[in-house]
Structure 1
């Protein structure tokens, strides 16, 4: 027996998800089976109720006729109407309750009819046919217990016939034995068919899972390759340029070609560039961390106000030099995320807002409640961008000089988007020429 199943007699998958998918996959076919069985029972009982009432009323027990005509047939009619008028979704949701009720009610009602007819034995053949057909049918639908249920059911039927209805063994034994043999053969066939169907389904599921893993590995390798290319591009442009400037200044100072005033000017410029490189390296490290599968474990609740206070202190000198006001409006302060990543994102947003803003402009840093989310945005009144520039804005965060001719280091939208994706969010950019730019994303509320 395949290790996919719980045991030899129970064709149920170890994996509950595979079992659920198998049942969902087959439920449409099983619903058609039950509809057919229900229609057959309604027709069968209606014909026999009419025949017994008009032709065999004296031979049949009157209670038996009334039981069949006034209870069994109406219940089947109600079930047929319910099945015909119910939606597919309703049938799927309540299918197994319906199947169990139909199975138990059918067998129980037929045995009760035999009991009401006394020892005459009327209906024993029809009862056994229904038992055989019903058990064979439901052994696929209710397979979780079918192989245990079938022999138990036959024992109960035989016990009921012999010890409750006082049927003579000689009169009923041969018929019962024949039906038991037929049912046993059918169950063996049904078992093999069901087993093969489940093995085939399981093999297809395993193949699909393997294909998914291969695809995921392929995408992971591609992502790592792209990440390596991005790192090389950033290092080649944003790190090499400041180092080249530093090397040139040191070379001039070494040769004594700079005055003291020129040296101090270069030192201030280099200090700014080195500070930017330091931020860039920190950003790259945080970006790499965001690509890790363990990034989720580092998230937690924190206050936006504490992050923004650090940013206000960091940009205080730049804001003052350009005469720009940073206005903070936090409607919601408590969020859930990775504080260092959020600080990196907001720092780059504010840095670029300063870069493209002019004197007396205002930069708005805001948070707003949005259901169970918090919408964060940075909006400036700067030069803005055209739709064409927005489309080109893919690999670099800023591709042109700022209002003060700032070149800027630029973390790059690719990195910002990666940090935001690590928070299961999406970056949104809205901009119009001379109207400013608004960049936003959302976080979970803490």
Structure 2
């Protein structure tokens, strides 16, 4: 047990040190990006994926994606998504997959007409291949990961290790943010999303992955902190990640992380006995106090601007016209495009091109649902319904999956404010489909 604790501390220290090294020598980020799949593949091959190693390698890739992108390590924006797809396919070759996952094959097939419609459109001059990859790589990643993970059996403790695999690179991310911008006070001047406090990268994506990190280290603090040292360590990580998530001034990821934690505690409360509910009530109160304290400190560091940001006001305290950072106009355009082209939609990538005319600039959709409707029409609606209902059908016989609702809400909320720019929502959605058991089932007697 002592070795396990030392290992956890050592790995955390390694990822903190890694952030420092890459901050000083940025070129190492690309080497890091190359080493992860090479080392991961060697682990999978050596163990023949007997313990679903592909899930753990993919989880680490999902956690490291934003860090690689902000440090220039990514070879292209879809690098991690395609690596996740690659490892999921490798997993299928070793372990096969459930025939009942065919609905996700149908989901993929429903996306094809949208590609064909786009190829037939001669009114726009744009790179179709680039548009297809940009808009559909997240969907491909989700579908392939879902096919592999469909009812794969994992213990709850193993699932937590998957989350830790995501969380470790998030530690590197938050350390890098502190190195890139030690003082939030010096760079905050308004209530818009802040690139300086986000490591020079997109605040929306940084907020998304840090919001997921909030949930990961909250669950680690509640369930898997076996000593005072681990309690203190996980609490510190939770506080720092939450603080830097709020400091991005991008609300989506923070709100999503908070919703995941709240949903998780509600589920625990509902399934607990009287004694357990008292403990969870205490956790609720403590979590609330901690959340208010972190937000208050961030407010102090930002001269109260963060409060105005969440109240949808500008730096002078005036109410902003839009509540979603301009996303309302994009969603409105998507809905109009759907009504004009309800059957097959306007084609993959054509929404961005059409917005040049309606909004005066080529704006990519931040809402995956409205994009599916406008670019894929009724087929997009059917594909979304598959994603919406299949997990709940599985959950009926999978009640020990304590993270199910938190994972599902992460996917649903994230695709509403950040589309599927990063691999995290695709991968976390697939985690909903795992068959999770809290305890190892007892072996039946022979005969």
TM-score, structure 2 normalization? 0.24
- Higher strand share goes to which structure? 1
TM-score, structure 1 normalization? 0.24
Q: Which has the higher contact order (CA 8 A, sep 6+)?
A: 2
